[in-house]
Structure 1
């Protein structure tokens, strides 16, 4: 099975995938920044709530008429006048109240004030709501009554039929009662009753209380309107039910409270216009502000949560390109690319703030929440919550309102996180634009870079394969590159290796002829001696032929010894333990020996150092010197000296051997240090020269931490061999 090969380009492309970590990190950074912005928004909202509460501290008149001083409230008895958005048309049709159905209260058996018969649900029940618009209070009653009995046209009494009784404390605190007792469906006004609560005697028509009574199949519907200036904060409504048109006996009286007793009246909370005037200007603050009493009932509010985004942004700039000029083709192309491709892609991850969401508190008359409860306990608090449709995140901050060091209410300020989310999206859009450009450019650059590298490597591979044939023979050369990088170094190294292999191949190719040349003479000597020995009868001749054969065999042995010398030397180096010796003493002893070995040579020693310590093997170093000196003796001109000089070069010492004589052939100075390279024109029958002397000498020099060089003298009078430490 063929394994899949990962090319260099593919590997770099895979590696460039790590660039995708950049948008992830940016995304996390912006999310972290959003959390800091939320903390800042939270602190700002608490500051706004504190500022509004400061304007309301120690102002009891703002709360006195709003029943905020009550210890407790009675549901269904203590009423709330809901803020309505438009005036109610008094036509007996309750369609105007449809938007406020959730605020209607249902009354039944638990709300009976009087009864003369066992209560039956279908006999009497009703829904009721109070609303406030401008300076008027509106009241609606949706009554279920199995038998509606109207007031007779000729009757002066107002309590022998179905009726509505209304009781209140007026603006000066005086107890007053009113009754609505119509003859038929239609427009109605109220009658003011006598202060004697034991009777129901009308004394005057009250035209300020207006309304419409309309009978229905299930009972009747009643709408009323009267000015808020008629009452202070106490009120009660009660419906009288008469079912028998003959006896006209009141069967039930059901209402919000007993209208005949002033101390049993319920309270009515009308949103405070004074507090609303104080907080009215805050509708421009980008927040919704509530003021609640200590029973969490709304006293005033300002602003709309749909517009309370916290951070104001220009909606025209959100998600739009920063590139201007609609007439520019490039701008149009960028705008198309951004709006049709990039932003839809981004918003697979990002979330846009909703343009609309469900506001459960749009018509709320009472609030609840941990933040408000803590504020009413005297501790400013904040609360994060989701809208009921989970589209919006709403932050609320509550701060207590103090009167005489007592908490009488709280200011609640609300904002959504739409502004922060829009700001986050803007930041991420710009970040993603920049990061996408960086990733595209970096990936393209890496791809081009990888392509160039792979092309250079393939070219190097092709050149290498072309330089060597299928049999391993070097048939070409490589052109080294001048590029100063690793591939350039590899190319130059390949060129050097190929050059050395070429030389080695040439050496191998020439070795057969060289060995044949060196072995032919001793073999011929041995062969001719054996032939003559077999034909000769003279003992003297036989001894001569045997002597010649021994000389030939000796020469063959010398050739084999020379060939194995390098191998033996390598083994000796690997097992040798280095020691420190003085090169000055070694040279002095060697030169004395050379004087006896080469009496015809004039070997001179010039030492410019008192001591030259070297770590290695003195025997091997002497062997190296023997090879070099022997070579110099063989090539020197007769009567000329051989100079051995030890001197200091830079911070180290060097050793040179100089002789006058024939110069080195051109370009052979480096090759002479290789194995089996020789420039001798002829070889004597007694001594074989395989070109191993300088090769062995250089091997010993390298063992001692140096190297040999062989050059022609500058004046072309001879040759110098130089040993230098690396």
Structure 2
């Protein structure tokens, strides 16, 4: 039954139930185009960042050029650092790393823990003599050197399965495990020293003036000091040498003795041959002169290296973590602001930006920190005589690092290069600050713009909706003017439309009023001439006439009667409409009324068959029984006129959802397309007048509609689902048992 009721709902009602996009929704969608502004601004900032990086690149190349210019044609800065060697060998040519603090000489290597990557392991490759085939388990050591405040520190972690110390009271230093130190002085003299101890503890080296086996050729050197500490795997040695004693060459060699009886040397392993100056390795100590030059130039926004042509670091200044570039000084943060906008930024906006849109600069890992040798395409290009810059990622990928290199010239030869590095933290911070301001401005524009457009659209949609509601309520479903439209005084297009519609409805109302009163005026005006014609015909019929005259008089009387019927029908609708205004309603069962009327119809239309189903339960309605009976008269009369011979007329009364549905169905001709609603209007009919002996003005269904509207119901005409006829459905509100008891 619910499906049948839904089928009765007009199509235009269903159309209104469909989702639609109003002006506010459309303008809000259009306002979403404002969201492209952040994307455009973001890409603009990225392009600006590229330009800033190019500027940083040019600035850094200029920095390296300036530093290199200060170091050009100064051979004294390179001659003492073994920079004239054609090649260097790892482990043989030593590099003194810059230490962050002084080493405590205690034989423990805890102070060297931060430099484990710089420690070199010496084993088979560095054997200088072996009495027996070398076994790594016999002896090998780890070694590195470093510089701090005028001292060269050296660390040796020796793995020796049989350490042999000096015998108590013995003057010989070569009949046990000992360390030979060979070097050149700043003036170029070749000097050798030996470290040999009786037991663990503090020691001073012995200067060898002749043969090491002759105790008379040994002299205690108080400036070379250290500590010998025995371990489970051998022993550790820590020592220091004043830098002022060192020239450009340095070497260390361990002499291993395993037999305590004959105390013969079995293995010699070291950084280089310590017996001849020509075979001695070099040592590179970061140049204090170059460091002073770098510090004097005041370059604090970059990390600067000076390297020789073997890519070994001669001097270094600055920290890459703090080298933000020249753009870091451009980032100016304002004073703390206690305004509501500043609080909104700090609490909501900035966390949102840095979570989804902006990457905050973070500390990164520096793989080249304290490096002794640096490499890269920029350095290769600089050592070939060309300045070059290069971008690289940090070792952990958290930052971009810009490196630039420029050659240092000595005559026509490239003696080294100046390498400068900067991170992009300064540019990134500047970019983030610009993005913050840009996003703040764009959010404000988007919020204000969207809100303005939404309010504007709301105002327009409100005015249009108001005009629509007035237009819909001005004319009912049958086209009757209910009230006029109030014209607005607005000067825009909607105001013009309102005034146009108001004028149109006023004109339609006047014309509609004329049409509504036309039938009563015609019937009133025509009754007098009809009465005159009728009386004249009656007087004429009293005289004697021939057969032809009688026939004409009969036809005239028939026409007058037909005309009188038309006038009665024209006045019936007006009379019923007026009488409905004073009708009184009462509560009664509608099914009883239908059953009683149908019994009368069966007697009135003896040749017509009726099928009735009014149900057993009472269907209570609050209305006027006489007028509802007259409504049923019109429906049955209309169904009988269109019903085919021997086809029953079905009358069904059902009750669901506080609605009574009375359906009168008959077989016969179908309704024309889209004529169902029009047939409920006055003076509309689809009957063929030539096939009927009495006039039909289409007022029957119009009267039925008036009675239905009075009872706050609905009447619908439609073709049957089987397309064999037509059915009329009248829906009336019913009264529930609770409402009946309260009444």
Moved more, 161-170 or 506-515: 506-515
Moved more, 108-117 or 202-211: 202-211
What aligned pairs does 1:429-468 form with structure 2 within 5 A after superposition? 429-468=436-475
User: What secondary structure sits across from 1:266 in the alignment?
Assistant: coil
Matches of 2:51 and 2:34 in 1, distance apart?
27
Match of 1:204 among 201, 219, 238: 219
Moved more, 423-432 or 13-22: 13-22
Matches of 2:76 and 2:360 in 1, distance apart?
41
Cα 1:178–1:516 shift into 2, 3 Å: same
Q: Spell out, residue by residue over 1:662-685, the C-alpha distance to the aligned partner (whole angstroms, 9 max, x if none).
A: xxxxxxxxxxxxxxxxxxxxxxxx
Matches of 2:189 and 2:532 in 1, distance apart?
160
Q: Which residue of structure 1 lines up, in the alignment, with residue 715 of structure 2?
A: none
Q: Spell out, residue by residue over 1:624-645, the C-alpha distance to the aligned partner (whole angstroms, 9 max, x if none).
A: xxxxxxxxxxxxxxxxxxxxxx
Do structure 1's residue 339 and structure 2's residue 354 form an aligned pair? no
Matches of 1:524 and 1:50 in 2, distance apart?
127
User: What secondary structure sits across from 2:268 in the alignment?
Assistant: strand
User: What secondary structure sits across from 1:91 in the alignment?
Assistant: coil
Q: Which residue of structure 1 lines up, in the alignment, with residue 653 of structure 2?
A: none
Q: Which residue of structure 1 lines up, in the alignment, with residue 611 of structure 2?
A: none
Cα 1:403–1:536 shift into 2, 3 Å: farther
Matches of 1:514 and 1:95 in 2, distance apart?
123
What aligned pairs does 1:74-89 form with structure 2 within 5 A after superposition? 74-89=89-104
Cα 1:379–1:523 shift into 2, 3 Å: farther
Matches of 2:441 and 2:90 in 1, distance apart?
60
Q: Which residue of structure 2 lines up, in the alignment, with residue 632 of structure 1?
A: none
Partners of 2:176 and 2:196 within 8 A in 1: yes
Deviation at residue 77 of structure 1 after TM alignment: 0.3
Matches of 2:529 and 2:310 in 1, distance apart?
130
Deviation at residue 288 of structure 1 after TM alignment: 0.7
Moved more, 421-430 or 235-244: 421-430
Moved more, 75-84 or 486-495: 486-495
Matches of 1:356 and 1:224 in 2, distance apart?
35
Do structure 1's residue 394 and structure 2's residue 409 form an aligned pair? no
Deviation at residue 5 of structure 1 after TM alignment: 3.0
Do structure 1's residue 287 and structure 2's residue 294 form an aligned pair? no
Deviation at residue 65 of structure 1 after TM alignment: 1.2
Q: Spell out, residue by residue over 1:369-414, the C-alpha distance to the aligned partner (whole angstroms, 9 max, x if none).
A: 1221222122222222222222222111111112112222111111
Q: Which residue of structure 2 lines up, in the alignment, with residue 124 of structure 1?
A: 139
Unmatched runs of 5 consecutive residues or more in structure 1: 550-726
Match of 2:117 among 89, 102, 110: 102
Matches of 2:127 and 2:521 in 1, distance apart?
137
Cα 1:217–1:340 shift into 2, 3 Å: same
Matches of 2:97 and 2:66 in 1, distance apart?
26
Cα 1:118–1:199 shift into 2, 3 Å: farther
CA RMSD of aligned residues (A): 3.1
Deviation at residue 477 of structure 1 after TM alignment: 1.5
Deviation at residue 186 of structure 1 after TM alignment: 1.6
Q: Normalization by structure 2: what TM-score?
A: 0.67
Matches of 2:406 and 2:215 in 1, distance apart?
48
Deviation at residue 470 of structure 1 after TM alignment: 3.7
Deviation at residue 53 of structure 1 after TM alignment: 1.0
Q: Which residue of structure 1 lines up, in the alignment, with residue 35 of structure 2?
A: 20
Q: Which residue of structure 1 lines up, in the alignment, with residue 426 of structure 2?
A: 419
Partners of 1:197 and 1:260 within 8 A in 2: no
Partners of 2:183 and 2:249 within 8 A in 1: yes
Matches of 1:89 and 1:465 in 2, distance apart?
99
Partners of 1:41 and 1:310 within 8 A in 2: yes
Q: Which residue of structure 1 lines up, in the alignment, with residue 255 of structure 2?
A: 240
Q: Which residue of structure 2 lines up, in the alignment, with residue 477 of structure 1?
A: 484
Moved more, 497-506 or 189-198: 189-198
What aligned pairs does 1:599-618 form with structure 2 within 5 A after superposition? none
What aligned pairs does 1:207-222 form with structure 2 within 5 A after superposition? 207-222=222-237
Q: Normalization by structure 1: what TM-score?
A: 0.69
Match of 2:410 among 373, 390, 403: 403
Cα 1:107–1:283 shift into 2, 3 Å: farther
Partners of 1:283 and 1:303 within 8 A in 2: no
Deviation at residue 458 of structure 1 after TM alignment: 2.0
Partners of 1:282 and 1:289 within 8 A in 2: no
Partners of 2:174 and 2:213 within 8 A in 1: no
Deviation at residue 471 of structure 1 after TM alignment: 2.5
Cα 1:234–1:109 shift into 2, 3 Å: same
Matches of 1:199 and 1:254 in 2, distance apart?
23
Q: Spell out, residue by residue over 1:129-161, the C-alpha distance to the aligned partner (whole angstroms, 9 max, x if none).
A: 111112211111110001111112332322111
Q: Spell out, residue by residue over 1:153-188, the C-alpha distance to the aligned partner (whole angstroms, 9 max, x if none).
A: 332322111000111222221222111111222221
Matches of 1:492 and 1:201 in 2, distance apart?
129
Do structure 1's residue 223 and structure 2's residue 230 form an aligned pair? no
User: What secondary structure sits across from 1:348 in the alignment?
Assistant: helix
Matches of 1:316 and 1:393 in 2, distance apart?
19
Matches of 2:279 and 2:403 in 1, distance apart?
37
Q: Which residue of structure 1 lines up, in the alignment, with residue 286 of structure 2?
A: 271
Q: Spell out, residue by residue over 1:654-704, the C-alpha distance to the aligned partner (whole angstroms, 9 max, x if none).
A: xxxxxxxxxxxxxxxxxxxxxxxxxxxxxxxxxxxxxxxxxxxxxxxxxxx
Cα 1:304–1:353 shift into 2, 3 Å: farther
Q: Which residue of structure 1 lines up, in the alignment, with residue 266 of structure 2?
A: 251
Q: Which residue of structure 1 lines up, in the alignment, with residue 693 of structure 2?
A: none
User: What secondary structure sits across from 1:482 in the alignment?
Assistant: coil
Matches of 2:526 and 2:409 in 1, distance apart?
124
Partners of 2:485 and 2:502 within 8 A in 1: yes
Matches of 1:55 and 1:525 in 2, distance apart?
136
Q: Which residue of structure 2 lines up, in the alignment, with residue 183 of structure 1?
A: 198
Q: Which residue of structure 1 lines up, in the alignment, with residue 159 of structure 2?
A: 144
User: What secondary structure sits across from 2:92 in the alignment?
Assistant: coil
Matches of 1:531 and 1:54 in 2, distance apart?
141
Do structure 1's residue 29 and structure 2's residue 10 form an aligned pair? no
Cα 1:504–1:323 shift into 2, 3 Å: farther
Q: Spell out, residue by residue over 1:447-498, the C-alpha distance to the aligned partner (whole angstroms, 9 max, x if none).
A: 2222212221221122222322342111322221121222112212211321
| Length, aligned pairs only | 539
Partners of 2:186 and 2:246 within 8 A in 1: yes
Matches of 1:408 and 1:317 in 2, distance apart?
41
Matches of 1:323 and 1:276 in 2, distance apart?
40
Deviation at residue 10 of structure 1 after TM alignment: 2.7
Cα 1:130–1:200 shift into 2, 3 Å: farther
Q: Which residue of structure 1 lines up, in the alignment, with residue 71 of structure 2?
A: 56
Cα 1:228–1:260 shift into 2, 3 Å: same
Match of 2:83 among 68, 71, 96: 68
Matches of 1:125 and 1:459 in 2, distance apart?
99
Q: Which residue of structure 1 lines up, in the alignment, with residue 105 of structure 2?
A: 90
Do structure 1's residue 502 and structure 2's residue 509 form an aligned pair? yes
Partners of 2:301 and 2:325 within 8 A in 1: yes
Moved more, 360-369 or 527-536: 527-536
Matches of 1:354 and 1:478 in 2, distance apart?
66
Q: Spell out, residue by residue over 1:51-96, the C-alpha distance to the aligned partner (whole angstroms, 9 max, x if none).
A: 1111111212111111112111111101101111112122212211
Q: Which residue of structure 2 lines up, in the alignment, with residue 658 of structure 1?
A: none
Partners of 1:176 and 1:195 within 8 A in 2: no
Q: Which residue of structure 2 lines up, in the alignment, with residue 633 of structure 1?
A: none
Matches of 1:196 and 1:57 in 2, distance apart?
45
Matches of 2:306 and 2:206 in 1, distance apart?
37
User: What secondary structure sits across from 1:63 in the alignment?
Assistant: helix
User: What secondary structure sits across from 1:40 in the alignment?
Assistant: helix
Deviation at residue 524 of structure 1 after TM alignment: 9.3
Q: Which residue of structure 1 lines up, in the alignment, with residue 188 of structure 2?
A: 173
Unmatched runs of 5 consecutive residues or more in structure 2: 1-13, 557-743
Deviation at residue 358 of structure 1 after TM alignment: 1.7
Matches of 2:215 and 2:29 in 1, distance apart?
95
Do structure 1's residue 302 and structure 2's residue 302 form an aligned pair? no
